[in-house]
Structure 1
Amino acid sequence: MGDNIHAPTVASGPTSGGIQIDWSKLTMPELMQQKEKIEEELKALSTVLTSHGVTMRSTLTTFDGYPRDDIDIPQVRATRVRMIHIQNDHKEVMKYLEKGLHAHFAQLQKAQATATTNGTTVPITAPSTALENSISDAAALGTPFAKVNSVESGSPANQAGLKAGDLVRAFGSVHWLNHERLSKVAEVVQQNEGRPVVIKVSRKEEGGSQTIEVELQLTPQRNWGGRGLLGCHLVPL
């Protein structure tokens, strides 16, 4: 038996949904929609492999080289092929999203490079890392990725000032491009038990329609009297 039943060779390229896509022609919102769609499909396909008790690298043969009879090998191979295709697509989407963000903030930086005061153009010197900081900062990216659905009284989230209805723009290093349906938020929480994490949210002022930006420090911890390390429920947008 050959090794080809384990790791099928798949040509790279943008092929989501079986349709050739020119990522360069998509707008930022369209790219974000494609990113979410791809991640949802990857999650579903991973579930298929898990149901068979295999991963992308698990052997499909017995110790003596015969095809395993405890799994549906054609389905596993087809699933792996599809995952390879859309993993390539995900890389392409992220590449063009990053390009779009760089272009967006480069335009902002250029527009802010000069200011007119009393009819005189005065250059404004910005730090050389301003663009990089903007791109790495989820608040600067400006797109909420989660909503606070509820906050338990006396919980770490409550003590930090988080409120139901808040729209999360940044949770530590997690932002709208990398949250992976909030799985990365869970990782940050687990990795920072007992240490403060910076949270940036958008919040509607009470009794008004104006939205304000709020930065909080939330310390995940146990034994606060309730379940979980935060005491709040986040839902993806």
Structure 2
Amino acid sequence: MKLAYQRILLKLSGEALMGEDAYGINRATIDRIVAEIAAVVRQGVQVAVVIGGGNIFRGLAPGAIGMDRATADYMGMLATVMNALALQDAMRRVEVVSRVQSALNLEQVAEPYIRGKALRYLEEGKVVIFAAGTGNPFFTTDTAAALRGAEISAEVVLKATKVDGIYTDDPKKNPDARRYLRLTFEEAIVNNLKVMDATALTLCRDQNLPIGVFSIFKPGALMRVVRGEPEGTFVTN
């Protein structure tokens, strides 16, 4: 089978793990996502994952009102570590070997982020799960995905969402909304299309690192993307 990409950075939002729940991790949903990842790993694709923490932090949100922004961001980073461990455990159940690397020093539960080790793990066929964002407050996990994608020389950053691409308008509110097949970074930035935050978009643009946006809930969508088949929306220079 011909593959369009050999090394990808998959950006998973924490909300993708909730399924239909209000917050937390839905077991059936995480198993379904891991099955999609496992399928491409078994085709020889090197996969790194950056995961968000919104699903965990959402349950704490009422208590975070009025909290110092940096403190809240560090709490969010810890939420991403929880998600990374859950993702690793789900991968273990389907016999996909993975390693969690954290940008925060949490040696009892995760390795520290070391670029050289991450590259070696990828070359060995292991999935590398990057947790704790960049390790700095005020930076999103979108920015972490762009940064880690550039550091590991990923061929593409794939943002897995609940929506199958980027639309001219909210498709849930406007049935006439049209899905873009391709966009330039400048179009995404100027039109404020909410692909990723501006820092992440600019970093990907400057590093000539394409972004693909697709629905992780469409069966086989991730496999179609790595094969280079039409799926979702791609943002390039």
Q: Same fold (TM over 0.5)?
A: no
Greater RCO structure (CA 8 Å; 6+ sep): 2
Normalized against structure 1, the TM-score is what? Answer: 0.28
Normalized against structure 2, the TM-score is what? Answer: 0.28
Structure showing greater radius of gyration is 1
